[in-house]
Structures are given as C-alpha cells and as structure tokens.
Amino acid sequence: MFINKDNKLNTLKKWIENSNYTVIFTGAGMSTESGIPDFRSKDGLWKGIDPMRVACVDALITNYNLFYEFYKQRIENLEKSNPHKGYDILSNWERKGLISSVITQNVDGFHQRAGNKRVYPLHGSINTFRCSRCGQSASKDNFINKDSCIKCGGTLRPDVVLFGEALPQDILNNAIKEIQKSELVIVIGTSLMVYPVNSLPSMSKGKKVYINKEIYQQSFDLDLEGKAGEILEAVNQQLN
Ligand code: APR
C-alpha cells in the first residue's frame, strides 16, 4: 500500500512524541544544504578524488602535499558555511527533550555549532589539529601555514579518522550504548556504506527511520525520501 509523504511525516511526528529515547544518526547528506559536498552523491567528493589517495594514513605519510591540499580546501569551504535550519531544529529538539543525542559521521562540527550538547563524532573533527608524529596539538593556522610541529618538527594533520585508522574507542562505545538505549533511531543523510559505523542503526531494538535523498536501504520501519532540511522542517511544524 502506498503511504504518501504527509502520512509518513505524521507517523514520524507521532513516533518522536511517543519515544522516550530518540537518537539521531547523521552523515554528509546532513550538510549538503549548507554548501558542503557529500562523498558518494553524483557531485560528491569521491566522484573526482580517490579517497585512498587523499584520506588515508598512507597519503599522510607518502603524499603530504596532496593530503594537505585536500583538507585545506575542505577547511576553507567550511569557513564559508554555516549549519542550516535542519541543524537548528535538531538542537531545539534536544533542548525540548524530544531527542537524547546525535551520533554523526561528519567532521564539520555543525551539530555542536548549532547547540547540540550530546554529540558523538565518530569520525573526529576537521576543526582541531595535531602533529602526525607526536600528537602535539596545533592550531588551524599552523596547519594552513604548513608549519611543522613545535615539539618534534613533524607534519600537522586534522583530527579526522582517516581510512585505515581506528575509530575513537570511547566515543564508539558510548554511541553504541546510546543506540542500545534507543526506542527510535532517525538516520539522516548517509549512504551507510562505511563500516563499522554503518552497523550501528541496526543495533537498535527500537523503530528505525531513514531520511535521505536516495532511498536504497529497505531495512527501515519508515523511509522519507528528500532533503534533510526540508523534511526536518516539515516534521518540526507538525510537532509545534
Ligand atoms: N538531504 C538528505 N540526504 C542527502 C542530502 C540532503 N540534502 N544530500 C545528500 N544526501 C544523501 C545522498 O543521497 C547520500 O546517500 O546523503 C548520503 C551521503 O552519503 P555519503 O556521501 O556516502 O556520506 P556518508 O554516508 O556520510 O559517508 C560516510 O564515508 O568517506 C567517508 O569519512 C567519510 O564520514 C564519511 C563516511
């Protein structure tokens, strides 16, 4: 039976109201309406660049200039971008007690900038930096200016989790605890292609909702095809 979008929005609104523990799970599709490209859409970052050449440990060691240019361009794009309305809505929902936490694959820090307090950034942050050799912290200017580490002279890197690196164990463990407590998980703007993070939503015993421009996963209780910001705004209007 075809369920139209209005019914789906109303269903999601009811599920949010009736859930005692709602967890939001986001990916790069949550930031495209802020002007930040995602990775696997037709105009995503990985359409023009091989991630294994720029976003992995090997690139950091053997091809620092390419690694540096890739992250410099993302950092400068981020400086011109701001969290869109959908982020503000999620921040209000946390303040009102409608959601308990946000688990994100994104490194832009937009959930925190929009005011969410309980955020689990599983892939780290592009807004903080460290020495790739000794771990000494460094500033964004140090990285952009291609300074060497003040302590050991090593090269600098953003605190993002590169392909081939382990996720931050404490954040991952806490995110899994959130999912295990959840009665409702709302997955927004992710292709769910990257392991192990993509296995988290299915760990929930609660209802699972998928908000995405392309619906290619059928393992959800409810899916809403479309733009994250627009759908969040439509649900928010029903909640008010
Ligand atoms: N609203 C809803 N969905 C959107 C929007 C939007 N405005 N824009 C894009 N999307 C969808 C795309 O259709 C795509 O399915 O968001 C999804 C983004 O998927 P990816 O580009 O694969 O991003 P993500 O799932 O976050 O990637 C996971 O891969 O490269 C690594 O570390 C990187 O954290 C990233 C991880």
Find the 32 Cα to ligand 1 centroid distance in Å: 9
Quote the CA–CA distance of 198 and 191 in Å, as a whole number: 9
Mutation choice for ligand 1 from 24, 36, 40, CB with most ligand atoms inside 8 A = 40
Domains and CATH numbers, the chain: 1-34+83-123+167-240 (3.40.50.1220), 37-80+125-160 (3.30.1600.10)
123 is catalytic: yes
Residue 145 contacts by C-beta under 8 Å, 6 or more apart in sequence?
A: none
Q: What is the mean pLDDT of the chain?
A: 96
Mutation choice for ligand 1 from 38, 43, 52, 214, CB with most ligand atoms inside 8 A = 38
| pLDDT-based confidence at residue 217 (cuts at 50, 70, 90) | confident
How confident is the model over 187-203, as pLDDT tens digits? 999 999 999 999 999 99
Find the 40 Cα to ligand 1 centroid distance in Å: 6
Distances from the Cα of 74 to the Cα of 45, 79, 105, 111, 151, angstroms: 10, 9, 15, 17, 26
At 152 the pLDDT is 98
| pLDDT-based confidence at residue 1 (cuts at 50, 70, 90) | low
How confident is the model over 22-43, as pLDDT tens digits? 999 999 999 999 999 999 999 9
The stretch 58-79 carries a mean pLDDT of: 96
At 191 the pLDDT is 96
- The candidate with the shortest Cα–Cα distance to 186, out of 59, 54, 23, 57, is 23
At 218 the pLDDT is 78
From 123, 157, 207, 208, the catalytic residue: 123
